[in-house]
Amino acid sequence: MLRSQLLRRVVRADGAPHCKAKENALDAQELQSQIDRVPFWYHAIELPGGITTPGISPGPLKDFYDLPKDMTGKRVLDVGAFDGYWTFECLRRGADSVLAIDDGSDLLKAENMAGMEIRVEDRSETVVPWEGFDLCKHALGYNDQQCERKTLSLYDVSPDTVGQFDVVLLFGVLYHLRWPMYGLDRAASVCCSEMYLESACVDYFSPYDGLHPLVDMPRMEFYAGKQYGGNPTNWWVPTSRCITEMLVACDFKPISRCTLNPAEQPDMKIKQLLGFSRCFITAKRRTQ
Ligand SMILES: C[S@@+](CC[C@H](N)C(=O)[O-])C[C@H]1O[C@@H](n2cnc3c(N)ncnc32)[C@H](O)[C@@H]1O
């Protein structure tokens, strides 16, 4: 139901013009029922009226992401945007515009929506369900100039297809890539200034050899099946050191690197969200 139709109903039911409080309450109710109709949420996104979408990410991990508090005037590319938490976060921090791309290749969403296990080889075509993203964009009041989304693979990103960006976000994407170095090259090709990465990593744990002390070597492990986190679209999991070396090879200078080791986290919720271990890396284009 359209918002305007909804408001008309209030006027008719009361026989008097609605007051602002009633309008907001009704909007909140309608927003909540729209959220409930989306079959799967990955992100917990704060919307007007004190409503938050029921996803798990980033939850208490949000403060570990090293994004600048002020992103005024920045043009941002959010790779693998999913429901758009980080797209909306950049806009909230003042970004001029964000292009959100996703190719739907993480089966998490597809599986949850279908309520069944889907095999990578069974998927005939990619469908990106953007309804959660669109709902939040609308609820937060962003227009198409500020916030655009495209079904596009990182592999097809180039200055010709998407243009250039001040900031590129690569959160939760690298280990989903069959060709990680190529993916990073594509991201680098459109990034004039800063790249922010977050990734699963094998710094302290590997499904192959369990818990181990920090591995500060440029290594990457391959998972042909579901060995890493039970997700068949987790292909290559690097060490954080490996990501920094890959960035150097793309002509970027790593500025900061931090790995969260679940074994050292007292908070159970953080432990669970981290899985094996996650790293956060910031890099700047070297030629600046
Ligand atoms: C774990 S989720 C991360 C979502 C979000 N970036 C975050 O960190 O909260 C990974 C997302 O990346 C997308 N993805 C994986 N490979 C991709 C590719 N080659 N091009 C574009 N998106 C991709 C998946 O479809 C999924 O939505």
Which atom of ligand 1 is the closest one to the Cα of 198?
8
Name the least confident of 121-125, 220-224, 226-230, 249-253.
121-125
- What is the Å distance from ligand 1's center to 132 Cα? 15
Q: What is the mean pLDDT of the chain?
A: 87
Structure tokens at 170: 């690569």
Report phi then psi at 6, rounded to 5. Answer: -60, -45
- What is the Å distance from ligand 1's center to 42 Cα? 11
**Does the beta carbon of 234 sit less than 6 angstroms from any atom of ligand 1?**
no
pLDDT at 207 over 60: yes
**Does the beta carbon of 104 sit less than 6 angstroms from any atom of ligand 1?**
yes
Nearest partner of 77 among 235, 179, 177, 186, judged by Cα: 186
Distance, in Å, from the CA atom of 201 to the CA atom of 280, rounded to the nearest integer, reads 10
Helix (H) or strand (E) holding 49: none
Supply the pLDDT for residue 196.
Answer: 98
Tell me the mean pLDDT in the region 51-69. Answer: 94
Pair 158, 186: CB distance under 8 Å: yes
pLDDT at 118 over 80: no
The string of pLDDT tens digits covering residues 141-157 is: 999 999 999 999 999 99
Pair 129, 41: CB distance under 8 Å: no
Nearest partner of 156 among 186, 122, 134, judged by Cα: 186
In CATH, 57-285 is 3.30.1960.10: no
Pair 253, 284: CB distance under 8 Å: yes
pLDDT at 24 over 70: no
Protein residue closest via CA to atom 1 of ligand 1: 172
Reported pTM:
0.89
- What is the Å distance from ligand 1's center to 159 Cα? 20
Protein residue closest via CA to atom 2 of ligand 1: 172
Supply the pLDDT for residue 129.
Answer: 80
Classify each residue of 6-17 as buried b or exposed e, where b means 16 or more C-beta atoms within 10 Å of its C-beta: ebeebeeeeeee
